[in-house]
Amino acid sequence: MNGGIIPRNYYFLGAITIDQNATASRQPVTKVLAGYSNAEYQAFFDNYDYQTMLSGGDLALFANTRMALMMHTAIVSPSKVYAPLPSEPIPAIGEIEAQTVLGKLSLDDYLINPQSYIQAIAISHKGKVVFERYPGMKPTDSHLWASTAKPVTALLIEHLIDAGKLDQNMTYGEYVPDFCGTAWEHIKIIDLMNMASGLNVGENDVTRHDPHSVMARLYHSEFGSPDPITNKVETTRTIMKTAAKICEPGTQFDYSSVITQSLVILIEEVTGKRFSDVADEQIFSHMSLENDIQINLSCADSLELGHGFLSSRLRDLMHFGMLYTPSWKKISDKQVVSDAALHRIQKELPSHEAFMSGYDGPRFMANLGDYVISNNRQWDAVFPDGDMMKLGYMSQGLYVSPGKDLVIAYFSTNTDIGPNQAYMRPIVESGLFDK
């Protein structure tokens, strides 16, 4: 097949869909730099669907920098003249070592290793770019954030709380009345922010591919595919309303993009505006952006996919992270992350027990190689020093250290567990950023 496209050749092992060809045909990330022929473009379009995208193979490598071609897209254009950050490289960052699935490697060696599949990394410290590499994309390419986008949705909720328009201790049904009578009705907003809904909406390697799961049904809907059970294209609301309670809300961390989409609906319900318009008004219009922010829409109902289908240049992801640091003044005309919001993220944490009781808590902590207090408010990890980390599918990442005024952002196309995260804490604790 042209361009090494992954054929649709799957079999089921229990509830897990296995792609037999995902590892057999993997183009190097440098293929993005080399470019694609017209025949390759067409072959990718012909094969683009939920399963092939989540395989993390050649199609995902192509699509991750071209999401505006693959799905309807809301464009948030820069409102201000771009002001580049000063660059003061610190070469010693590249010498930092970490134990990875590829062995113990320096960051420099890891970035050039063809099996890392990392496409770009950028690090800012005190408002200056101190490290930047693009082994698998152009600096001008926009790339899918995946779940690294979830803090955007969370930050809009923080704004509504700060403005007194939303009480995090009130329930979903009180703000979104058409969910009264469903399992969502009595769940507090804070429990949705903390991915502790108590519903059967968890997202993991099993549920992403189980056709009966709420999570897989949502992805099928977003990609415009018929539900594998009903053979109908269902809307987000219809799928959400089939969720059932499995434990008490607030007691267990169960990661889920369904929950983040419930918050997108909540934002639109409270504001009466489109998600992208609120994001522009409250966040992006205040920022120095290199280029457009792209937000993809669900094929089923045109709901904007705040859980992960957002794309931008790497520096703009880094700039978003800087909003949580003392250097926010370098990239924004106002303090977008309030002191109160940052306090809630760093200090008002769920218990470590709730974090570790679900599927992802132990996995996140192991991959990050350090003690994590808990997830919180759509961030995957909050460390004892107040640093925050958000991971994205296919190994995207955003690490923010407000205390060190440090941000690490990276893009990748690798579904393997934990290859890039291993460098985060060694970079932070290297001593290079202690002054």
Q: Per-residue pLDDT for 29 more than 60? A: yes
Query: Is 314 part of a structural domain of the chain?
Result: yes
CA distance linking residue 389 with residue 346, whole number of Å:
11
Same domain flag for 315 and 424: yes
Query: Is 70 part of a structural domain of the chain?
Result: no
CA distance linking residue 211 with residue 176, whole number of Å:
27
- As given in the structure block, the two tokens for residue 385 are 């020093």
H runs (alpha helix) in 180-256: 189-193, 214-222, 236-240
Same domain flag for 171 and 246: yes
Query: Is 9 part of a structural domain of the chain?
Result: yes
pLDDT score, position 181:
98
- As given in the structure block, the two tokens for residue 384 are 């004892």
Domain C-terminal end among 27, 48, 63: 63
- As given in the structure block, the two tokens for residue 297 are 């829409």
Provide the edge-to-edge strand list for the sheet that holds 143-144.
Answer: 73-76, 293-296, 310-312, 143-144
pLDDT score, position 358:
87
* Residue with the larger pLDDT of the pair 20 and 309: 309
58-95 pLDDT, tens digit each: 999 999 999 999 999 999 999 999 999 999 999 999 99
What stretch of H or E contains 167?
Answer: none
> Rounded to the nearest 5°, which phi and psi values hold at 405?
55, 50
* Residue with the larger pLDDT of the pair 434 and 54: 434
The C-alpha angle 223, 358, 104, rounded to 5 degrees, equals 85
Residue closest to 323 by CA, chosen among 312, 333, 314, 332: 332
Same domain flag for 313 and 423: yes
Same domain flag for 207 and 132: no
Same domain flag for 258 and 359: no
Q: Per-residue pLDDT for 15 more than 50? A: no
pLDDT score, position 167:
98
136-175 pLDDT, tens digit each: 999 999 999 999 999 999 999 999 999 999 999 999 999 9
Domain C-terminal end among 63, 82, 100: 63
> Rounded to the nearest 5°, which phi and psi values hold at 103?
105, -175
3-class state of residue 102 by DSSP: coil
How far is CA 61 from each of CA 172, 317, 327, 394, rounded to the nearest angstrom?
37, 19, 32, 10
Question: Which CATH number belongs to the domain containing residue 141 in this structure?
Answer: 3.40.710.10
pLDDT score, position 24:
41
Same domain flag for 340 and 406: yes
Query: Is 43 part of a structural domain of the chain?
Result: yes
Residue closest to 321 by CA, chosen among 206, 202, 195, 155: 155
Same domain flag for 126 and 222: no
For residue 418, what pLDDT band results from cuts at 50, 70 and 90? Answer: low
pLDDT score, position 102:
87
For residue 227, what pLDDT band results from cuts at 50, 70 and 90? Answer: confident
95-111 pLDDT, tens digit each: 999 998 889 999 999 99
Query: Is 179 part of a structural domain of the chain?
Result: yes
Query: Is 50 part of a structural domain of the chain?
Result: yes
Same domain flag for 162 and 144: no
Spatial contact of 238 and 209, defined as CB atoms under 8 Å apart: no
- As given in the structure block, the two tokens for residue 27 are 């183009």
CA distance linking residue 11 with residue 166, whole number of Å:
45
Query: Is 358 part of a structural domain of the chain?
Result: yes
Same domain flag for 144 and 165: no
84 contacts: CB under 8 Å, gap ≥ 6: none
pTM of the model: 0.93
Burial class (CB in 10 A: 0-12, 13-18, 19+), 127: middle
> Rounded to the nearest 5°, which phi and psi values hold at 108?
-60, -45
Residue with tokens 């690798």: 414
Q: Per-residue pLDDT for 20 more than 50? A: no
- As given in the structure block, the two tokens for residue 12 are 């089921």
* Residue 23 domain boundaries: 2-63
Q: Per-residue pLDDT for 3 more than 50? A: no
389-401 pLDDT, tens digit each: 999 999 999 999 9
Domain count, the chain: 3
339-365 pLDDT, tens digit each: 999 999 999 999 999 999 988 899 889
Question: Which CATH number belongs to the domain containing residue 227 in this structure?
Answer: 1.20.58.710
Query: Is 75 part of a structural domain of the chain?
Result: no
What stretch of H or E contains 125?
Answer: strand 118-125
